[in-house]
Amino acid sequence: KADTAYVVTDDDARDVVRYQFTQGDAYFIYRGPIHPAAGLVNLLKGFSVFKKRIGSNMKMVLCGPQGDYSAAFLADLENYKFRSDVVVTGEVGPYDQVALLSSAYALVHPCRWERFGNPVMNAMKAGVPVLTAANSAMAEFTGMAGMFFDVDDYDEIGRKLILIYNDEQMRADMIGTGLIEKPA
């Protein structure tokens, strides 16, 4: 069930959050653990495809808990070509969790093993489009409000990021559908 704290925010509120976390740039967000099973390597490879083809100043925010399991990924991230466009927040308090997700351009959720779908449902409630793993519980949660990708195909992830970025009408339709769908 979606958290009642998540609501659609206005442009001014989103701008405040963007300046706090990404120096004012719009961003995609991943909300979940910084864990090898989360599919973050392919997410960043897909983000590279997006950055190379679009050349946008969009950022990627990785927001979630970290532990010993995160060390290898975070070490590899230091050598990532677009490292300056990736913001790793670690775990943040409840207020910042809501603000970050509600202000995102889109939630990108590559983890097909999410058990409850809270980030996906909260994003839909906040009017944030969702890109998520095909053939997963998240795809079922989002239905027509989501866009799906093969988590093992980073080029497809990149193409979906480009599509949501370039097609404002489709993005608006996804937001509208997400707001009227009633996730379980």
The DSSP-derived string for 66-113 is: --GGGHHHHHHHTT-TTGGGEEEEES--HHHHHHHHHT-SEEEE--TT
pTM of the model: 0.91
In tens, the pLDDT along 54-110 reads: 989 999 999 999 999 999 999 999 999 999 999 999 999 999 999 999 999 999 999
Q: Are 142 and 182 in contact (CB under 8 A)?
A: no
For the cut 70, the answer to whether the pLDDT of residue 115 exceeds it is no
Cα–Cα distance between 147 and 160 in angstroms, integer? 8
Both tokens of 16, joined, read 């405040």
> Among candidates 148, 152, 106, which has minimal Cα distance to 129?
106
Q: How far apart are CA 75 and CA 24, in angstroms?
A: 26
